[in-house]
Amino acid sequence: MISEARSVLLLLFGGALLRISLSDVYLRYVKAGVRPLLIAAGAILVVIALVTLFRELFQPRTHDHDHDEGDAHGHKHGGGVVAWLLVLPVLAIFLIGPPALGSYAAGRTGTAVAAKSQYPPLPAGNPVPVTLLDYASRAIWDQGLSLNSRHLLLTGFASPRPGGGFYLTRMVITCCAADALPIKIEMRGNVPDGLSANTWLNVVGTYVPGTDVDPLNRQPIPFVSVASAKRIAAPEEVYE
């Protein structure tokens, strides 16, 4: 029984990998470039599970005499039940897919700041799309020199600011959600009324000198003056 449970568990786990990697669900957990590896890993696990399960169910087994004798003396083996219970967490992946990280995670982690060696002029366009990481980097380390006099289009979700107001936030990952860190930009100006946490926004705004301080890690948080903000659905790639 334990062998069958192990095979079924492996089959479900491989199936779960294929399910999330063949849809956009995997983007909640890893970067887009990891998709081929997830598909390959899921397919390999499914094949191994099917081969193992076939052998367990249809090929004759060699019974261990000592094991059978032990059973004849009344020994009970409960490992099979425990093994089947391991299937439950995998079933949860099929039935309840954990959402992408949002304002809850951002509110418990200090803002990330990253400096570049150089800050070239922004591309043409009005407004010009800029990632939150690029905006924060230019605003903090370049003192906004490459942002001045430009209208900028920023996309992120609202996360509550301690003391009132909201940050425009985006989680940044290196490879997966386990290493995610938030980029926070304090919104000032024409911030929408009735805003709630995790509301995704397209914000058109301009650079504002100065910074706030994140109370969680004492790192600087730049400002943006909001000219207009539009509520949007969460993008397919929620992480930067």
- Average pLDDT score, the chain: 85
pTM of the model: 0.75
In the chain the domains, ranked by start, together with CATH numbers, are: 2-98 (no CATH), 104-232 (2.40.50)
Q: Which distant-in-sequence residues (6+ apart) come within 8 Å of 77 by Cβ? A: 71
**What's the first-to-final CA gap in the chain, in angstroms?**
45
pLDDT in tens, 194-226: 999 999 999 999 999 999 999 999 999 999 999
pLDDT in tens, 74-88: 444 455 566 566 666
86-107 average pLDDT score: 76
**C-alpha count within 13 angstroms, C-beta hemisphere, residue 124:** 0
Rounded to the nearest 10°, the torsion over CA 153, 156, 160, 163 is -30
For 52-61, 140-149, 184-193, which range has the lowest pLDDT when averaged over its residues?
52-61
Q: CB atoms < 10 A from the CB of 57, how many?
A: 10
